Amino acid sequence: MKVLLINGSPNEKGCTFTALSEAAAELEKNGIETEIVWTGTKPVRGCIGCGGCAKLGKCVFDDDVVNSILEKAKTADGYIFGSPVHYAAMSGTMACVLDRLFMSGGSHMRFKPAAGVCSARRAGTTATYDQFNKYFGINRMIGVPSQYWNMVHGKTSDDVKKDEEGLQIMRTLGRNMAWLLKVLKCAEENGIELPKQEAPVKTNFIR
């Protein structure tokens, strides 16, 4: 079983990476393979709502990281998305990646465990945590808890290494996700099927 961890920071080995690495190490300790993917510093477009992905099975834009992340997401069993807090929200890059990843490939992640983690110097963490959870909720994913909301504090990686509580939150998250993945595998092996879904009803407010 494998967990894909996505680092949405412009800093490849910064605070967000340090937090994700702590969770990844705990997952590995518990027998789960991990891969950390960095979204980089090159431009990532926002979703233009063209609907082309519904036909293509991937985003119509092939000139940034989104489709390569989608390919990895297809075979992953769980996901941890990480972002620095930028103006009390996830980074713009991470928001663009998630909009297009979920729009084009959400079906590959459905009913799989997910968590969002964030790093801030000081504030905006719970707003960012909420922002992550909205993607998981609408995509019918299983939100994995830790012992607290998933956040670390610092401006540099060294700061984060001193945030003992933050690092513990990441380890607990890794351990909890490993446990849940094993529970889900056991359920599958014992013939427990995913819940049947009704055809979606869309009630628009203006008719």
Ligand X SMILES: Cc1cc2nc3c(=O)[nH]c(=O)nc-3n(C[C@H](O)[C@H](O)[C@H](O)COP(=O)(O)O)c2cc1C
162 makes contact with ligand X (CB under 6 A)? no
Give the relative orientation of helices 164-189 and 15-29 as an angle to the nearest 10 degrees: 40
110 touches ligand X by CB under 6 A = no
Among positions 66, 70, 86, 104, the unique one binding ligand X when judged by CB under 6 A: 86
Per CB under 6 A, the segment of 10-18, 72-80, 109-117, 179-187 that binds ligand X is 10-18
Whether residue 36 contacts residue 3, with contact meaning beta carbons closer than 8 Å, is answered with no
Backbone angles phi, psi at 82, to 5 degrees: -125, 140
* Nearest of 2, 13, 23, 10 to residue 115 by alpha carbon: 23
Q: Which of 4, 14, 100, 129 binds ligand X (CB under 6 A)?
A: 14
- The DSSP code sequence of 49-82 is ---HHHHHSS-S--SSSHHHHHHHHHH-SEEEEE
Q: Indicate the burial class of 133 (C-beta count within 10 angstroms; 0-12, 13-18, 19 or more).
A: middle
Q: Using the rule CB under 6 A, is 16 a contact of ligand X?
A: yes
Stretch near ligand X under the rule CB under 6 A, chosen from 34-42, 109-117, 121-129, 199-207 = 121-129
Given 3, 9, 93, 163, the residue binding ligand X (CB under 6 A) = 9
Closest separation in Å from C-beta 62 to ligand X: 26
43, 68, 71, 121: residue in contact with ligand X (rule CB under 6 A): 121
Residue 146 binds ligand X (CB under 6 A): no
Please state, in angstroms and rounded to a whole number, the distance separating the CA atoms of residues 66 and 56: 14
Q: Interface residues with ligand X (CB under 6 A)?
A: 9, 11, 14-16, 84-88, 119-124, 154-155
